[in-house]
Amino acid sequence: DYELCEEWGHLYPVPRENLISFHQEHLLHLLEMGDMEKALKLLQRIEDPDICLAISEQSLDQHPSLAASHFLADYLTTHFYGDLTVARHNEIQALYMGSKVLLTLPELYRVNYFHLSSRPLLMLEQLLMNMKVDWVAVAVQTLHQLLAGQEMGFAVEDIDNLLSKYAEKALDFPFALKEKRS
């Protein structure tokens, strides 16, 4: 049905908003089906870069699945870096990093942290508070790799400060130990 509608759009004039809406639905359908290759081909077929940008951004704003969000954030930062405002770019980059960290977690537990996918530092802090030290190690390593040479809303030093803060809290005892005397 989507292919038929796309062909119809080539033969007859379709209003811009309807074209964006149609392609957005098609893109989200492909991404939810897990067909990233066809989704990429769909985006490449769209000749007008402004329409392609609108479709990608609006699709991302629909808060699709983890894999779809990761794909869209990567696509937007790769192909439309210069067309995004600094704030929007940082927002999308944070979502990309957060989704990358989520993909390192065990699949059953991803849903518990999905709401934090656009806030990677907060996700890291939540993992620390939940005592998921092994997951934190992988998340920190992933974030360090992603932050290398990148301008983001946070830096490697912020991650290190967060880890230091929780390490200090882990060693902080709220009471004094009394000596036992025999």
Is the predicted pLDDT of residue 171 greater than 70, yes or no?
Answer: yes
Give the model confidence (pLDDT) of 10-64 as tens digits: 788 888 888 888 889 999 999 999 889 999 998 998 888 998 999 999 999 888 8
Rounded Cα distance between 115 and 120, Å, is 10
Do the beta carbons of residue 51 and residue 43 sit within 8 Å? no
* pLDDT for the residue numbered 75: 92
% pLDDT > 70, the chain: 91
Q: How far apart are CA 32 and CA 58, in angstroms?
A: 15
The predicted pLDDT at position 86 comes to: 84
**49-53-58 Cα angle (round to 5):** 150
Whole-prediction pTM: 0.76
Q: Give domain limits for the chain.
A: 1-84, 111-171
pLDDT at 173: 65
Helix/strand/coil for 172? coil
pLDDT tens by residue, 57-71 = 999 988 888 889 999
pLDDT tens profile 125-164: 999 888 888 888 898 888 888 887 666 667 788 888 888 8
DSSP code per residue over 38-60: HHHHHHHH---HHHHHHHHHHHH
